[in-house]
Structure 1
């Protein structure tokens, strides 16, 4: 398995971010080929030192890192990436890796 973590910094208007993210962006991103599971954080993001400056973390699961890369290169992946400019102005970071159970 492999996962992509998309970490969104806290926007000025959380309600507007959530409206756009769930109403527009999620349906676009769910069309990425190879996507097996799409999860998002629920509530404030915490750290050992307290509340973080992240508003939402999305975890997208694929069969392999190669599948993530293929998905991002697809028309659907490019559409999802282009859509970030429409709502993620506070900042967004993407990380992806293969995973294994230990």
Structure 2
């Protein structure tokens, strides 16, 4: 299994971010070939190291699932993957960090 984690930093307008993400970016991301699962955070993203309810600086975390790292890499290189990556500039004005990794159930 392989994962892509997108960690979206707090945008200037959270309501506009949420609307664009739900109405445009998420449907676009769901067209990526080889995507086997898609999860997004629900509610505030907090840092337990910053104390109860501590601000993490992140607004939303998305985790995309793929069968393998080669499948993930092929997905990112696909036209749909490129379109999804290109769409980030349309709404993620706070910035986004992308991480990819292999995973295993333990």
Q: TM-score, normalised by structure 1?
A: 0.97
State the partner residue of 2:92. Answer: 88
How far the C-alpha of 1:17 sits from its partner, in A, is: 0.2
Gaps of 5+ in 2: none
State the partner residue of 2:58. Answer: 54
How far the C-alpha of 1:12 sits from its partner, in A, is: 1.1
2:29 is aligned with 1:29: yes
Task: Give the Cα separation in 2 of the matches to 1:7 and 1:56.
Answer: 6
State the partner residue of 2:8. Answer: 8
Cα root mean square deviation, aligned: 0.7
2:83 is aligned with 1:79: yes
How far the C-alpha of 1:87 sits from its partner, in A, is: 0.3
State the partner residue of 1:66. Answer: 70
How far the C-alpha of 1:52 sits from its partner, in A, is: 0.7
Number of positions where the alignment pairs a residue of Structure 1 with one of Structure 2: 102
Gaps of 5+ in 1: none
- Could you list the structure 1 runs, at least 4 aligned residues long, displaced by more than 6 angstroms after superposition: none
1:10-66 CA-partner distances (Å, limit 9, x unpaired): 011100000000100001110000000111000110112112100000000000111
Q: TM-score, normalised by structure 2?
A: 0.94
Task: Give the Cα separation in 1 of the matches to 2:72 and 2:29.
Answer: 12
SS in 2 for 1:11: coil
Task: Give the Cα separation in 2 of the matches to 1:28 and 1:66.
Answer: 21
Higher strand share: 1
